Amino acid sequence: MLCTRCLRTAFPSQNLLRTTTRYISTSRPFLSEAAPPLSTPISSPGDAAPAAAPKISSCPEGTVMKGLNYLKNGEDPVAMKDEEYPAWLWECLEVTEKTGAGEEDLDDEFSKSKKKRKQAMKRKREIDEKLLAEGNFEALEPKVPLQHQSVNLPGKEGGSTEENLAAKKARDELMRAMRVERKAKIKERNYLQSM
């Protein structure tokens, strides 16, 4: 394989012609006065939506894909038909955004990064504004965290299976709430120590 510099030095006359010659191209569609054809066909309101076009790979069938072989004595792979690849392959690079604010998002209020703290506060403010707009005032009332409530946990010895399962669920929720609070306190303490 030759580099472009070698080709230019080997054929200087063609290189000069290429830089001095100006190509002008006019095609028939630009010269005609008829309206160009629409890229999407016009459909009636009652027509069904057309099926999505299948994804087309960047290399045609039979193309040798050089540099993709990672085996020592192996050969470079050859491209197959688009139909022979699994359907999930075409969706690999699509980015999916995380929706909803979970426990991980709330912990960002104590992040060392100023940007993350601002984003967390903005997200919290947006949720509050949305609840106000919906008229859900109960959600905005200050709530006593589960780990600070003085309510006895359900469950007793000799209780039914359902009661014991409900008691385990309540204990798990309490443990999870305590863990989240401890994690937030540790983050806050570490942040304040770093200042």
Picking from 81, 78, 75, 74, the residue whose alpha carbon sits closest to that of residue 65 is 78
| pLDDT cut 70: percent of the chain above it | 65
pLDDT at position 65 over 70:
yes
Please compute the mean of the pLDDT values over residues 152-176 and round it to a whole number. 83
Average pLDDT of the chain?
A: 75
- Which tens digit of pLDDT belongs to each residue from 14-62? 544 455 445 555 555 444 555 666 666 666 666 666 566 566 778 888 9
The model's pTM is: 0.30
